[in-house]
Chain A
């Protein structure tokens, strides 16, 4: 039971608890908070995996931008506690069964296919950051540029969607 294992289980537990509470919470704000917890925990896990840059980005972008956006929208729409309707029959017990099966399958598959995969030597942290930048601007430069276009499009789309049509 090394220290890293302890940290891992602590963070993993935190993440799982957060995820579960995301479901259990009735109010979207609480769900959002739980999700933030999950993300922070994941960032910690990334640190544990030696992916410092990704961890930082995870918190900055997910925690600091995306989730803020969610909270912002929830506050803007003044969303209340979610009401209980059961129009969809499928989203009942059968759905539950399916979901459980799916999760099980996924985990089992990945685990089976990666059995024997063992953590290789940690890539040095700073090396990882500069390495990422190298890959990003050499091997993946076209996807990278494309993402910039994607973001541009997204910005315009959001603007168009959210603005009130003038009368």
Chain B
């Protein structure tokens, strides 16, 4: 018995959800929902417990990095890909977020999906996702990480297309999958390059090799190994975390059930890209170019998505775009070298964004499937708990103190401000914050305040069951206190979260250009500015959508051009369709199908078939169906064999040679 059982048997943590998934998937069809619940919640809950125990043991052991090779999976030449799991502070954060939030969302889903068909299928998929996500975050080398990476892609595909009878749903699933393929392509290339350079893909070995002075940092504009590799990896991250230009799948992914949107497309999977960038920070800090690209892309995405979010009317779409923009924040943080801040925001975002989605789900549940905010309003009286939790999360995401979002966003903006030439980034970030608070409150006001815009006789608004409200409350609490670990930083104290992650990111933190005191005062001022921006957004939203609703439409009319562009999301989908999809279709129709397939392949196949028929026609005559003639054929065959043995020079001896 190992002294630290859970660490020694770390593989149990990801395995449990897999078991749950397998059991539900194989036998669940016949079972009542209750049994399925037990299996799904049991497996995930257990794995949460195991994860907690493992974390406890990890800290108890006090080591910086726990790493264990369980079995070798692939070996080819000097290439080894093992089923190796590792645990360090970064992993701890990720694992706890995944299992914890995941478990809460599982509980929520039992209530939300109660009346859906394919109940067992849903939970089987959900557990499968948990398994792959845990593999992803626990993996100790890029190959295993990639397994999880692809796995979560698969799970998200399955879950987006959960209502596969709806064409839009299945299309959205395919879209997500294909767009991710583009990113994964880059990711794989990055892996290959890394292996070719360092002959290993194990994190520890790779980073050791990378951080030895032989590899000098690559300045701006240099395209050395690191830059290329990092850019390729970042390409993958873009795909997974829905950054420009590969973000298009995420809004459509809202076709999936709301718990899925909450778990996969807000809390965990989409943050995988951020995780990867943070995980391979050692590589990124070597390449200024890569960092700059990451920062710019992140920042741009944040602003871009926020602007689209302004005019969306589908409650989940709004949240989707806000997710994209928040992810942009995280990348911005990573880009400016504040990895811990990025991870911090990742965590808090996981809390409040999951909460937002779940609350939105609760609203939709209450409205009986209605998702368009224009047909809501005045719900705050009817569904108090949902309203309260939603409000909390909105405040959090808007970045108002003392909620979680405030601290994390503040940290990001600070570090963006501090790096040389980072001011434009900072300004854009600030604007994004403003926009964020605006559209979030727009959502709140449209949904919960004002006079009802729906037919009260048709729709019977009702509060959700406690199985759904429980997770809401839990997440609400988290999104309130989630940020306080970094609170002391405001009044000059240390940033506990950052220092907690120091063993991982070490000295790669954002350049501390200013002295302590100056930094402290600067931090306070920036915080105030951010809060002010958030409040402005709030105010505008209040004015436009509660005081003067007609003004909103007026504004929309006056800014017709902008409004339509935003409504159509900058025509990005149409752009892609025109530039990529159509040509592809044309090629595949005219070249691959009409030419290659029909002419060449079918021609060959049919030709062979005709030849076979022709031969068969002749050969058939031997098949008289008469047993005796068959007997003669047998004799002929035997005769040939024997004759060969007999006439072959020196043959025969070996025939019986074995007897000796």
Contact = CB atoms under 8 A, between A and B. Distances in A.
A98 B626 contact: no
8 contacts: A88-B626, A88-B632, A90-B629, A94-B632, A98-B639, A101-B639, A105-B642, A113-B655
B626 A87 contact: yes
B653 interface: yes
A94 B633 CA distance: 11
B613 interface: no
Interface string A122-133: 000000000000
B656 A114 contact: yes
B73 interface: no
Contacts, number: 48
Interface string B646-657: 100000110110
A91 to B, nearest CB: 4
A79 interface: no
Interface string A77-99: 00000000001111100110011
A9 B653 CA distance: 28
B580 interface: no
Interface residues of A, number: 19
Given A108-B646, A109-B645, A91 B629 contact: yes
Interface of A: 87-91, 94-95, 98-99, 101-102, 105-106, 108-110, 112-114
Given A91-B628, A114-B656, A102 B646 contact: no
A98 B636 contact: yes
Given A88-B626, A109-B652, A113-B652, A95 B635 contact: yes
A113 B653 contact: yes
A90 B628 contact: yes
Contact of A102 (B633, B642, B655): B642
Interface string B620-642: 00001010110111011011001
B643 interface: yes
B520 to A, nearest CB: 82
A109 B642 CA distance: 8
B638 A88 contact: no
Interface in B267-301: none
A105 B646 contact: yes
Given A90-B633, A114-B656, 19 more contacts: A88-B624, A88-B628, A88-B632, A91-B628, A91-B629, A95-B632, A98-B632, A99-B635, A105-B639, A105-B643, A106-B642, A108-B646, A109-B645, A109-B652, A112-B646, A112-B652, A113-B653, A113-B655, A113-B656
A109 B632 contact: no
